[in-house]
Amino acid sequence: MNIPETLANFLLNLLWPVCCPLCGAIGVPACVSCLLPLLNPPLPHRIASSSLSLFLWTGGLHEGRLRDLVLSLKYGGNRGIGFAMGKALGRIFPRPGADCIVPVPLHRGSSRGYNQSAAIAEGLSAEWGLPVTSALRWRSPMSAQTDLDEKKRKKMPLGAMIAKAGKIPGKRVVLVDDVCTTGTTLLRAASGIEGAGGRVAAAVTWSWSPKALH
């Protein structure tokens, strides 16, 4: 046992009472070493629309423990767990040839106090050494995708997301979201990046649904 690390975690827990949901270690939102065995990534897939396609790297199917962790991140107020999830993803996937990591933005008017995709992106950044750039924004208010059925998700209008001025031209980008369900959100994000003169090297999510590839 690493006594100094254990003591540090105990003292941290006094200030910030959290523990790993998998092993119970105190002072950490989640242990990366606990998360890694949960990941069962498929080979990179392509998600595509009529005009755009991109590689998707993802940790596994959106079910069981992987789904529970996303729910804790999004609705349990556990932002720190997203950082650990991002670090775990950064260890199973090699650093891509890219200039920056861009998280999918929160919907305008969201009541959530933080962007769960940005938390995952920050963990990836810590592993890969790539900066996180909040380069995208929603063009107009939209319903959260979790409130919509599959057909309505796929009807998200082209141009729903656009890049902020000066953030993207000439850059190779890794897009990050928590879950890929139909792939539509990531494709709209990629469209916003490429429309501003950037290029998407890959998209990364914690979990995915096979619907994304249909």
Look up residue 64 and give its DSSP letter. Answer: H
Per-residue pLDDT, 66: 96
Kindly state the tokens that stand for 71. 């729910």
**Low-confidence stretches of the chain (pLDDT beneath 50):** 1
Other C-beta atoms lying within 10 Å of the C-beta of residue 86: 30
Neighbours of 19 (CB within 10 A): 16
**Tokens coding 90:** 């950064």
**CB atoms inside a 10 Å sphere around CB 32:** 19
CA distance 54 to 42: 15
**DSSP bridge pairs for 208:** 61, 180
Tens digits of residue pLDDT in 15-53: 556 889 999 888 889 999 999 999 988 777 889 887 888
CA–CA dist 174, 172 (Å, integer)? 7
52: its two tokens:
């755009």
pTM: 0.86
Residue 83 is predicted with a pLDDT of: 96
Q: What is the pLDDT of residue 148?
A: 54
In this structure, the number of other CB atoms found within 10 A of the CB of residue 131 comes to 11
